[in-house]
Amino acid sequence: MRGRIILWISIVIALASVVVLPWLAWREAQRQAFDAAADMTRAYARAVLYRTDKTAQQAELAIGRLMSQGAPPCSPDSLALMRQLDLTSTYIQALGFVRAGTIVCSSMGSVPLPLGEVSLRTSKGIAIHPHVPLAAPGASPLIALERGGYAAVLHRDLPLDISTAIPDVAVGVFHVEAASSAAPELAKGAVKRAWLGALRGRMEARFIEDGRLVVVVRSSRFLIAAVAALPVAYLEERAEAIAWRLVPMAALAGLAIAVAVLVLARQQRSIAAALRHALRNNEFYLSYQPIVELATGRCVGVEALLRWRRSTGEQIGPDLFIPVAEQSGIITRLTERVLELAEADAGAYLAANPDFHVALNLSPADFGSTAIVGMVERFLQRSGARPSNLIVEITERDFLDMDNALRVIAALRARGVEVAVDDFGTGYSSLSYLAALELDFLKIDRAFIEAIGTGAPTSQVVGHIIAMARTMGLRMIAEGVESQAQADYLQGQAVQYAQGWLFGRPMSFADAVRLAAQREERAAGVAA
């Protein structure tokens, strides 16, 4: 059942990665295209604003100089200054003196030049003549700014004449005081004064309207704003171009993930299927690792470790198959098999040696139902062993249902079977196990034993674990003891038991019994 759920989840993940990754890539392409287009449009608007600011600044300066000069209008001195200012101002076409809406003398000479209608009189006293009527046909259109009797004549197109990589970009300049219905002060392409409304007091705004991406920027110096608008069609073209690069890559990545997930799921299922076959084919056996009392050197028991030898002779370690058995729900049958094997190997010996114990590794799933209590009961009845001959070890490799675990542990302990927390300190919930569960032993994980005396930061941890176990009244078993120095340290810290290669690798039960007898003799010799 659980295997099927995992397979379905894998299929959903596989499908999701095939669909979701390309979709994300498409979204990313659109985002990149929008950002690039927005940056470009903003650059156009800013370029127009920069040139308009420069123009306004030169006009303001020149008119100011003429007004403050003091020489009578159209006098040789005044005309000389006009010519000088005209020559030094890059954006100014001509400067002149105005009488009744007509330039009567200018830096260009004394041909009268009518300025045409006024579109706006600004709060700073400037009259804008947006279309200076020119006699010469085909000449570039002009605009004039007039103040205090003097006018600066400017090319209408010059501030807008920025180079754009894309055709169809519309740019324009607006005076913020003009009526909302008035035409733009300067424009190339279709622009709307209403766009200024988007500024709402800010210096810059960006939005999409009528199929165009619009950027509005305000001048910090003059009462003007520049706009640039880019057709959204261009943006879509760019998004498509980016998508052509990104989407196939994402589709390939999605496909690779999907294949990997499905292959893994199949592999899991095939290991699970092989496990079922192995159960029928009796491919499992137990190895026993001696557990030694540090104070006396006596072997007080063994830990039963499951081994899988396939019919091909291949050995598969529990670290590989136990997690698969846990995930595919086969673990309960495997645990049942462990009890059967332990009974066959050790039942009679245990019945005759009440002080010797076998520690069995149980999975979190085994604590999910009271079935395990029945299995242990059958083991005791059939072998004639006593409950004190058994220790069960609990790990946190898989999710533990605390309520059920409490019930199962209580039932086992009530029967006289002792409980150990295995691999203590390696998982997230070791501490919550200690707080919530009634335990007898704490098995200090090999990782902390390895660190003893190394000076590594973790070398300090073992001392804290020992202190904690002592406070909680738990007996301790150190795992993975490989050196005499480690054993001496642990004995010095009053750790009661240890297992590891120093005392013996996992072996057959008969060998473990022989080793126990040798150690018993040695201990008795020392005592005598």
Residue nearer to Mg ion on the CB measure, 53 or 422: 422
Per CB under 5 A, the list member of 327, 361, 389, 499 interacting with Mg ion is 361
86 binds ligand C2E (CB under 6 A): no
Q: Stretches 151-159, 273-281, 404-412, 493-501: which one binds ligand C2E (CB under 6 A)?
A: 493-501
Torsion, Cα of 399, 403, 407, 409 (10° steps): 40
Residue nearer to ligand C2E on the CB measure, 146 or 396: 396
What 3-state DSSP class applies to 391? strand
Q: Stretches 127-135, 347-355, 382-390, 474-482: which one binds ligand C2E (CB under 6 A)?
A: 474-482
Name the residue type at position 397: R
Per CB under 6 A, the list member of 433, 480, 489, 496 interacting with ligand C2E is 480
Q: Stretches 156-164, 373-381, 473-481, 514-522: which one binds Mg ion (CB under 5 A)?
A: 473-481
Q: Stretches 23-31, 46-54, 61-69, 499-507: which one binds ligand C2E (CB under 6 A)?
A: 499-507
Residue nearer to Mg ion on the CB measure, 177 or 398: 398
What 3-state DSSP class applies to 204? strand
| DSSP string across 126-171 | PEEES----SSTTPPPEEEEEETTEEEEEESSGGG----SSTT-EE
Torsion, Cα of 450, 456, 457, 459 (10° steps): 40
CB of 250 to ligand C2E, least distance (A): 40
Using CA atoms, how far apart are residues 406 and 291, in angstroms rounded to an integer? 27
317 binds ligand C2E (CB under 6 A): yes
Residues 378-397 touching ligand C2E, rule: CB under 6 A, are 393, 395
Residues 425-464 touching ligand C2E, rule: CB under 6 A, are 446
CB of 514 to ligand C2E, least distance (A): 19
Pair 119, 129: CB distance under 8 Å: yes
Per CB under 6 A, the list member of 373, 506, 509, 512 interacting with ligand C2E is 506
Please work out, in degrees rounded to the nearest 5, the angle formed at the alpha carbon of residue 348 by the alpha carbons of 347 and 349.
95
Using CA atoms, how far apart are residues 394 and 439, in angstroms rounded to an integer? 10
Per CB under 6 A, the list member of 10, 289, 328, 496 interacting with ligand C2E is 289
314 binds, among Mg ion, ligand C2E, none (CB under 5 to 8 A by kind): none
Q: Stretches 82-90, 168-176, 210-218, 422-430: which one binds Mg ion (CB under 5 A)?
A: 422-430
What 3-state DSSP class applies to 369? coil
What 3-state DSSP class applies to 452? coil
Q: How many residues would you count in the chain?
A: 528
Using CA atoms, how far apart are residues 73 and 75, in angstroms rounded to an integer? 5
| Nearest of 129, 138, 243, 232 to residue 186 by alpha carbon | 129
Q: Strands 315-316 and 299-309: what pairing?
A: antiparallel
Burial, 177: exposed, middle or buried (Cβ in 10 Å; 0-12, 13-18, 19+)? middle
Torsion, Cα of 308, 313, 319, 324 (10° steps): -70
Pair 239, 58: CB distance under 8 Å: no
Q: Stretches 256-264, 366-374, 466-474, 475-483: which one binds Mg ion (CB under 5 A)?
A: 475-483
484 binds ligand C2E (CB under 6 A): no
317 binds, among Mg ion, ligand C2E, none (CB under 5 to 8 A by kind): ligand C2E
361 binds ligand C2E (CB under 6 A): yes
CB of 498 to Mg ion, least distance (A): 12
Using CA atoms, how far apart are residues 428 and 430, in angstroms rounded to an integer? 6
318 binds ligand C2E (CB under 6 A): yes
Residue nearer to Mg ion on the CB measure, 37 or 420: 420
207 binds ligand C2E (CB under 6 A): no
CB of 244 to ligand C2E, least distance (A): 51
| Nearest of 353, 341, 42 to residue 214 by alpha carbon | 42
319 binds ligand C2E (CB under 6 A): yes
Per CB under 6 A, the list member of 63, 271, 338, 346 interacting with ligand C2E is 338
Residues linked to residue 71 through DSSP beta bridges, in sequence order: none
CB of 279 to ligand C2E, least distance (A): 13
Number of chain residues interacting with ligand C2E (CB under 6 A): 23
314 binds ligand C2E (CB under 6 A): no
* Cβ partners under 8 Å of residue 445, min gap 6: 423, 424, 425, 426, 479, 480
Q: With the C-alpha atoms ordered 294, 295, 298, 303, is the resulting torsion angle positive or negative?
A: negative
500 binds ligand C2E (CB under 6 A): yes
- CA–centroid distance for 30 within its chain: 21
Q: Stretches 45-53, 248-256, 359-367, 490-498: which one binds ligand C2E (CB under 6 A)?
A: 359-367
28 binds, among ligand C2E, Mg ion, none (CB under 5 to 8 A by kind): none
Using CA atoms, how far apart are residues 309 and 289, in angstroms rounded to an integer? 18
Name the site residues for ligand C2E (rule: CB under 6 A). Answer: 289, 305-306, 317-319, 322, 338, 361-363, 393, 395, 422-423, 446, 479-480, 482, 499-501, 506
Name the site residues for Mg ion (rule: CB under 5 A). Answer: 361, 393, 422-423, 479
